[in-house]
């Protein structure tokens, strides 16, 4: 290959890389909905850009015109990003775990303020976050497993009846109930195997 062609291909390759970089990193306008914010967050999280993923949802939470009834779910989504980061990046695990816990607490606080008796999966989702934190090699393992158990136990009585109808579709509830029981049993077993003191579970 002549020097001219080598120069041409190197220039083309460099241009392609710059173009791809522009596509991936060019600043986007603020999200216009919670769904858009979560979609962007997921893409960024999968690309390992955890801080940007969190910032995307946090920016939506600053939107005064948003539907605040979804804030609890959004805090859970932020917690999930931090939990994934704590697994993927051991060097920042301590801070990521702390941030995940703070956002799970915010989600739980909002749920308790609403005093909802809906079947929703809020408590199950928050409990799953605490269980995932407990699975990490962290000093607060027992606290996290205890919290997971408490939330699973709170979720079960909210699953009443045999079916649930939403948006014209009917869903059986037993599989959902069985899933919560399975996670509750797993959290109890992990708590016991870790030698955690029984008085942590109230």
Q: Once rounded to an integer, what is the mean pLDDT over residues 38-58?
A: 95
pLDDT band at 104 (very low <50, low <70, confident <90, very high): very high
Which of these ranges, 86-100, 118-132, 171-185, has the smallest mean pLDDT?
118-132
Q: Once rounded to an integer, what is the mean pLDDT over residues 96-115?
A: 94
Q: Once rounded to an integer, what is the mean pLDDT over residues 3-27?
A: 44
pLDDT band at 7 (very low <50, low <70, confident <90, very high): very low
Mean pLDDT of the chain: 86
Q: Mind listing the pLDDT tens digit for each residue in 185-199?
A: 999 999 999 999 988
Name 165's bridge partners. Answer: 170
pLDDT band at 27 (very low <50, low <70, confident <90, very high): low
Residue 41 confidence (pLDDT) above 90: yes
Residue 6: both structure tokens together: 């080598």
The contacts found for 175-178 with CB under 8 angstroms, 24 or more apart, are: 176/121
b/e sequence 25-53, b meaning 16+ C-beta within 10 Å: eeeeeebeebeebbebbeebbeeebbebb
In whole angstroms, give the CA distance from residue 125 to residue 132.
11
Q: φ, ψ for residue 56 (rounded to 5)?
A: -60, -45
Percent of the chain with pLDDT over 90: 65
Tell me the C-alpha to C-alpha distance, in Å, between residue 78 and each of 62, 69, 199.
Answer: 14, 16, 30
DSSP letter string over 107-172? HHHHHHHHT--S--SHHHHHHHHHHHHHTSS-TTHHHHHHHHHHHHHHHGGG--SSEEEETTEEEE
């Amino acid at each position: 290959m002549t020097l001219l062609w080598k120069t041409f291909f190197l220039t083309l390759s460099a241009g392609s890389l710059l173009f791809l970089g522009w596509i991936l990193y060019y600043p986007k306008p603020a999200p216009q909905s919670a769904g858009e914010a979560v979609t962007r967050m997921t893409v960024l999280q999968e690309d390992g850009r955890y801080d940007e993923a969190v910032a995307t949802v946090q920016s939506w939470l600053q939107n005064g015109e948003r539907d605040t009834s979804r804030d609890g779910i959004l805090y859970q989504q932020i917690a999930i990003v931090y939990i994934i980061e704590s697994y993927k990046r051991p060097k920042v695990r301590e801070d990521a775990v702390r941030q995940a816990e703070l956002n799970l607490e915010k989600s739980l606080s909002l749920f308790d303020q609403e005093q909802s008796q809906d079947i929703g999966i809020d408590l199950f989702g928050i409990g799953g976050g605490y269980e995932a934190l407990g699975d990490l090699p962290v000093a607060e393992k027992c606290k996290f497993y205890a919290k997971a158990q408490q939330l699973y136990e709170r979720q079960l009585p909210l699953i009443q009846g045999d079916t649930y109808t939403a948006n014209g579709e009917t869903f059986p509830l037993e599989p959902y109930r069985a899933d919560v029981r399975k996670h509750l049993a797993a959290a109890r077993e992990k708590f016991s195997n870790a030698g955690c003191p029984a008085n942590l579970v109230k």
